[in-house]
Structure 1
């Protein structure tokens, strides 16, 4: 019977704890990012002028500044204003806002790709502006944006590793603690890389299944 050394026993126990925390970060951040991305993307295309400016400013701010800076502001900066966030809350909020900004750009591009004839045809059938967007435009745009949005979710899985800098001990944070204790960084981070590879592979599988469910033969082809 194979018996692991104390180092590997401690490492795997720590990484499994970190994996649970990573999933607790990734899942709500991915869902929140998609929701904000669709909402912000729609506002940037169909909203009033001030709403479009607001959406553009949001996207520019969170796409134009490093995620690590955003996390530092949320966790270490907001207490200066009397707002205190737990490490988990700061990480999730940071990931949601950053991911949503990128998702909004994919959604915005997909919405703008829908030909104007779709709007005119819906209006001719008696659809209101909201009904046209809700039932005609968004379902088509989602299918066109899904590749970009899925790619952003893959990125989210990997940059969730930054949560440890605000003391949220996820996969990378737990592994770093063990690596520092035993001074065996190469082995620890190689195994951490395998964990992330597994998460990304699983996400790719799920995203492909979603794409297959949403696929409409001939859609998007001239």
Structure 2
């Protein structure tokens, strides 16, 4: 309860609900992404005027020693293997939503080289592809993976193969009222929402006017 400028709370017997805000999903703008790449490119200069860069300088030196700090005209790609499996990291600095599409695109293009499946994770700065199999990527075929050739064809194919369209359609279905998110006194699970939205998506996909 909120009264005046005071919030009154009591211990809950059920599970706590963590609030989330759509503002957290806003992607980096192209201008901000370019600005970050410029700053990162010159971050190894200890005479940088920004106090934030001075504070991060030891960490950035460590990154340069272990891997690399990309310049403005460079694209950093890292691959590691641990006990969980094989990890591929790429850092475009283009925002979460762009990276979601790029992750599916890169995974699709790699899967055309060899049969392999991936788990994907992304944030505003880059994305990760994870597999329990060795990822067939090296300096020779990296340029082919990142080429602009057949870009839109591969993007559409990757979206369909990763079923990203189905996942995004769930939000559209809820907002438009095609799927009921809540019943009186009961909230439907994400699994149930995805299932209902998937059925509607299938009907629309097969519809031929």
TM-score range, shorter chain: under 0.3
Structure ranking higher in strand proportion: 2
Instruction: Give me the TM-score of the superposition, normalised by structure 2.
Output: 0.27
Bigger RCO of structures 1 and 2 (CA < 8 A, at least 6 apart): 1
Structure with greater helix share of residues: 1
TM-score (norm 1): 0.26
